[in-house]
Structure 1
Amino acid sequence: MPLKTIDIRDKTCPMTTVHVRLALDKSSPGEALEIILRGEETRRNVEILLRTLGQKSDCQPLGEDTIADYRVTLVKS
């Protein structure tokens, strides 16, 4: 299955978690998701949401030049 990318860098809390939840709800088990986000607060909120929903994810900085941007990857369980 191809990787599904959700870019929420232009969204503000609490809409960031709403968009992630909707994307997760539309995804099938085993589908790989990549969430691109901006900021520490958004990162924390998305990681809390994913843990609450029983999803295991990995979060890494998006790149050296974008210290506030992150890539969260997961495979929906």
Structure 2
Amino acid sequence: MTPPEPAPTPIPAVGLDLRGTPCPVNFIRARLALEKLEPGQWLQLDLDRGEPEQMVSEGLRGDGHQVECEPFDEGAVRLLIRRHGG
């Protein structure tokens, strides 16, 4: 039996670099960017690690969006967010 193929990496429709942006401004900007996307499209979001990562990812999951996290840079994280409804 062959192992399953890895899922393809999502291609974001929009990317935002919100490193250095304080809470809750980063969360608000992420939500506004998602509102402009079609359901099922992806947003790439670069954030500082720690509280910004936690607050934004939890808030967007709470809104029903799919959130994937990957290492990005020292002290930063990249979130890939799939807009719900698609």
In structure 2, which of residues 35, 52, 69 is the aligned counterpart of residue 25 of structure 1?
Answer: 35
Alignment partner, residue 15 of structure 2: 5
Other structure's SS at 2:38 match: coil
Q: Give me the TM-score of the superposition, normalised by structure 2.
A: 0.76
In the TM superposition, residue 2 of structure 1 has moved relative to its aligned partner by 5.4
Instruction: State the alpha-carbon separation in 1 of the partners of residues 26 and 81 from structure 2.
Output: 16
Structure number with larger C-alpha Rg: 2
Q: Which residue of 2 aligns with 1:47?
A: 57
CA RMSD of aligned residues (A): 1.5
Q: Which whole-Å CA distance do the structure 1 matches of 2:17 and 2:64 have between them?
A: 21
Aligned 1:64-75 pairs, distance under 5 A = 66=74, 68-75=75-82
Listed as ranges, the gaps of 5+ residues in structure 2 are: 1-10
Partner-residue secondary structure (3-state), 1:72: strand
Higher helix share goes to which structure? 1
Structure showing the higher strand proportion among its residues: 1
Structure 2 letter corresponding to 1:71: R
Distance 1:2 1:69, change over 3 A: closer
Q: Which runs of 4+ in 1 moved over 6 A?
A: none
Q: What is the CA–CA distance in structure 1 between the aligned matches of 2:79 and 2:12, rounded to whole Å?
A: 16
Q: How many residues align?
A: 74
Normalised TM-score (structure 1): 0.84
